[in-house]
Structure 1
Amino acid sequence: MNRQPFVAALRALRQTLLGPDAPVGRPLLARWPRVARYAAPVGLLAALGLFWITFAVESEWGLPAPIAVLFAAMTVAPLLALPRRPLLAWRLTVLALLVCTFNAPADQPWPWTPPLALGSVAVLAGVVARVDRPVLAWVVAISTVPVLTLVHPDNRPAVLALLGASAIVGDLIRRNRLSRRALAAQTEVSEREQERRAVLEERTRIARELHDVVAHHMSLIAVQAETAPYRLTDVPAPAAAEFVAIAASARDALTDMRRLLGVLRSETAGPQTAPQPDLTDLGTMVDAARRAGLPVTLDAELVDDDRVPAPVGLAAYRIVQEGLANAARHAPGAAVRVTVRVGPSRLGVRVQNARPAEAGSRPGEAGAGHGLTGMRERAASLGGTFTAGPLPDGGYAVTAELPYDAEGGDR
């Protein structure tokens, strides 16, 4: 004989009568914070009103004042406990239904006062929306005991139907709440996975671009090493062998980098044959933004920009490109100023837009994409710093500091 269902039923009964209370979960008025702040005082006033109505009804029935106060308190107490302790509220309700019936006059069709009858239905609907089905079955079964023993036989079918309807509605509410909670958790996981994937894709894109720059330098090294013995006169044999070894090492490095690029490149990505942009292409990009309707001002001091390494120039170009895209997307019509400063060992980039005429979402908010993440990744890959945030006047600015060695090699 399988005893598991019997053991599970006893465990659920113990949970119903003596177990810890059901988890509260999210408050009912959490979606409306302005209304939630008035819930406590309004609920307290409603409880005082029910207490006074119950006391008045009990007094009309001829009960002594202390007994009437006790029964009124037993009527209101479950409603006060319901938001935080639903199972405790139901237990107090069952106790009130059993105790507060003996005060009803014989000519009354119902054994309870109207506040107690309506309050018990509200408590039942509240508790069944928060408990599991085994506990729900015991709650409904025990709630029928006062009905079957104290309610007039002519009124029992209606009361039992009301209990059944409350149980069904509460169970539907509970299942809907659990489904929405699971959906919210899954959505959060999907958003985090999408963000992580965007970061990885941006890093892969940066790696591919850096591969092109480094491969160009390695090709130059290989060519210079191979042609050095022919360009120089009286090259000793050991030096010529060194040049041959350097050229062979450079070719091996190029082969390894091509293999690395094959790993980084996605299956759908085609070959990138266009040259990578640098600081000298900023003017062309700004002109294109102006033709698209974005009021852009370029403030760049690019004198002696040959000392800026190609990876740093490429990162600066991409940061300005993404900054202009964010300004056009989130601050349409606002004036944009692009500032580029070439220092002895650092390149400063700043894209700042004025306050937009129409309020729009800031970069980083819902629907803004991952542009800031890409800019931050580019700066971090070069050992630089990146900051982004709103300005006191309502505008927005992104700033990057990209270090490099004065001799021309990026750090």
Structure 2
Amino acid sequence: MGETPALFTGRRWFFPSALLHQLDPDAARAGRRPRRTARDWVVDFFCFVLAVVVGATAVEALATNPHVPPGLAAADQVFGALACAAVWLRRRWPLGLAVAMTPVTFVSDTAGGAGLIALFTLAVHRPFRYVAWVGGINTAFVPLYYWLRPEADVPYPVAVLFAALLTVAIVGWGMFVRAKRQLMVSLRDRARRAETEARLRAEQAQRLAREAIAREMHDVLAHRLTLLSVHAGALEFRPDAPPAETARAAGVIRESAHEALQDLREIIGVLRAGEPDDSGRPQPTLAALDTLVAESREAGMKVSLDHRVEHPAAAPSSVGRTAYRIAQEGLTNARKHAPGTEVTVTVTGAPGTGLTVRVHNPPPEGEVPPVPGSGQGLIGLTERATLAGGRLAHGHIPGGGFEVRAWLPWA
């Protein structure tokens, strides 16, 4: 259903039905005839009274005009009464009423008020081409009308000029009212489009925020939970392990669980607040790669880090954070899909040439049990690198290994 603006909702009686009909797209599409509002009834009654008053004034002028015989004066009053009654039909048939009034006003003085009201209604409700034809014909009949029925106390040129100016004024007034209503409809449409665009922008922003949070959750929690899985599996399959090794594995599990809970708490806090929380832990950058590799080594992985970056502290935070997430996801995937292999992480670059991150591992030895995964990690890394202005490629390398290579701009 179409929504009428709040400006028109509380005071619908104050606005014309035609305007409310234009503001209701459902009614316009369905072709329903607009119902008269209280304002319409008041205006129509005023127009009827005005037509009657003008007709009554013309009756007195007919009685004192020696050029009008009594029989013609009686017929004039009959046509005038019918014309005044027809004013109530002006909203339903504005064009038909204006066309019918053209010959009636030519033969009846008392129908003059009703004719002007019909012409005004036509100018309000119909395009200018109809108004131009009907108004032009009425104006063309004015000299002939006063030549056949001259006024008793008004000169012929003055009467013709006055009637022509009155017709033009009525048409101009009606066109002004029509333009004002069209302006209101246009403003309403603009407001509706602005509201729709604002809602779409808000929905898009929310969707992008959810996607960013989902990527961050995957990047952060996947690494922690993989450590939990590896050490829990080691404790399950080696119940006779030395107490020191068991304690180390339990410590890694406890620390990874604590870190995962803290990361999850921060992400949930962002969801509740609706905006990033600057009071949380700082995001990891290039300087945290050593810590990431150390955690992986503690989990039993064989990791080799080749860190050849000139001035790593000068790297933009967004570039460093993206490089860290790429290395983290590469280590997580290698731990899941190629356990026991030696993973090499290579980070090179300098200002002006960009930053290159490469994570590769040889094929695993023996059969690797299937590990559940959605495959969204590499897709999220590709999107993250693209948003940073870089590129990322991944796939198998000659010999059966797997490689993730990314290039990030560093101005």
Q: Give the structure-1-normalised TM-score.
A: 0.43
Q: Which has the higher helix share?
A: 2
TM-score w.r.t. structure 2 length?
0.43
